[in-house]
Structure 1
């Protein structure tokens, strides 16, 4: 059973010089699939084409909370129309994402962020798609909205909340994404979660090129193939066989992202 990176931004400019070799290195390390979420209308086409040209990649479409200030309300109409067209063409996104709230950034507009999140939750519900959520410093607010605007579940990306909050996401049908942050010895809360949560609730991610693991802390760029070492660390923290972590977290990703499951057995081709 191969690994799945449920969240990486392979379309980022940091990969322009060597994107193909980065993808090949991930395949060499056993990362069979990589989910590439959009963050703004301007990269909907880019992530879609990346997924279409690389059978090991798939995409999600959404407007990230850090980009709502530069978005326009008609971008929500465009998002809905684009998802509809892709579903009709037989190449649907695996989720609506990356969407959510971010109350960490300076001078954030909570009302604007919430408007975009609510409207995108409605789109996800309309098309019965899961969501990939950005939840930084905003978990309780997001949980309130999820209880009001019920979607089929999804992934709480880069989860960094309490056990109570984790259980609340799980009860709503979500998986929790963990990656490079847990590799830092001082990340005691995250390590405790990764060690004690049901393994059935966990999916793996890198958020490349961001959130580099501890062994890349002095580098500027994270890469998807780091997922192998991250998964091995989880196995060590839980004191279980690495093959078990691989199999269960991969099955978790396929369960929570049904459109990804449909693609999982495709031959891997890099164009």
Structure 2
């Protein structure tokens, strides 16, 4: 790997803040079906429009081709708050070599399939695990352009600290717009609760109670949609690495993330 290439664990930087309120936002998801017309009315029945299907943007972190394109992923792009940062990074891996980008992609596909089965319109910030990027600012732009009801970025961490394990969920803090306030906090809380209910322990080394607000993540800073980032666990922890490297383990992560998103959407 080129010396200038950024090989980064996902969770460096930022200061922990108190856990947010977990009150779920109100939802306007009540189904609106066809209208009924009395037999005494001569005009034809005119159906009301079906409810608008909600859009969720899934952002599988990193990409499989990043490592072979150091110049492209090291270029500086806007990161919000007047800062810049590299376009993207390679992500981390287990000690056995299972890569974070592959884990992120697989889990995102599982989540997307489950959401689509519930009638959600699912979009992705990247369309394969063999490409480069897109840059973090472009990922945020895709969520904004889609008018997504929720943007969820899927990652895994790579800490070598002794005993480091567990998931955490981040949102942009201090908020830069209304969507980064209550809606993103609620989304993060619903994801956190679903992961805990799914049997996953909160992080022992970052954040508090599974929540880790951050000011340094471009994808969150640049979003004008409700957005949260899930670090599913520590790929350097043997037990979590084993779960992430197995298809059943990835399905368990996907089930929990799906449950959190559906709870937030009110579905």
Q: Structure 2-normalised TM-score?
A: 0.27
Q: Give the structure with higher Rg (CA).
A: 2
Structure with larger RCO (C-alpha < 8 A, sep 6+): 2
